[in-house]
Amino acid sequence: MTSTYDNLREQILAGDTSITATQIDRARRDDDYERLRQEAGQRAAETAAETARQKAIANLQRRADKLTVPRDLQAAYRRFVEAGQALTAGIDDHNNKIQALNAESKQLDADVQLWPLSGRTFFDLATKEAAATAPIGSLGLSLHALHDEKVHQHRDQLQQERADRRQLGTDSSVSLDFKEQHHE
């Protein structure tokens, strides 16, 4: 947008002698005043937008401050931790028995040896199974010594169903997802 002042200035430079200094001054003053009003409007809009943003942030913070973890979720977490502690303690106890048996076997020069369980490995496997991120047979997770007979039987059944479907050519519909099919 060309200002009135700029237009008058160009007219003078083009040779128009009818334009007075008063007109030039008034045009310059009017243009400055219009620019100031536009800037004031822009600043007011920016201030209003920032005020709205700060209000939204304060509202969000109030909601966040009120949001607490549900007690049932805290209780579930506590049970999970306690189960993990029980698992770790059980594995440690089992491994102590294995060490004693292996020591006795060595003392007798017998060919009896058992390998200890890796507590961290089984804890990680249990966590993955609980989160359903690692169904048995995928992501390197398979049946292991800590799965009970029911889990082994269920897995055998799923494998048989999959084999049967392979023979029929409809293999893709069988899920071997442990959590989905075992924990209901």
How is 5-73 classified by DSSP, letter by letter? Answer: HHHHHHHHHTT-----HHHHHHHHHHHHHHHHHHHHHHHHHHHHHHHHHHHHHHHHHHHHHH----HHH
Q: What is the pLDDT of residues 73-123, one digit of tens each?
A: 889 999 999 998 999 899 999 999 999 999 999 999 988 888 888 877 887
Q: What is the pLDDT of residues 111-167, one digit of tens each?
A: 888 888 887 788 787 887 777 654 555 444 567 777 778 777 777 777 788 888 888
How far apart CA 179 and CA 157 sit, in angstroms, is 15
Section 49-62 average pLDDT: 96
Indicate the Cα dihedral angle 92, 88, 183, 137, nearest 10°.
-70
Section 29-41 average pLDDT: 94
The answer to pTM > 0.75 is no
CA nearest neighbour of 114 among 96, 103, 97, 102: 102
pLDDT at res. 99: 94
Section 47-70 average pLDDT: 93
How far apart CA 176 and CA 169 sit, in angstroms, is 17
Domain parsing of the chain, residue ranges = 4-66
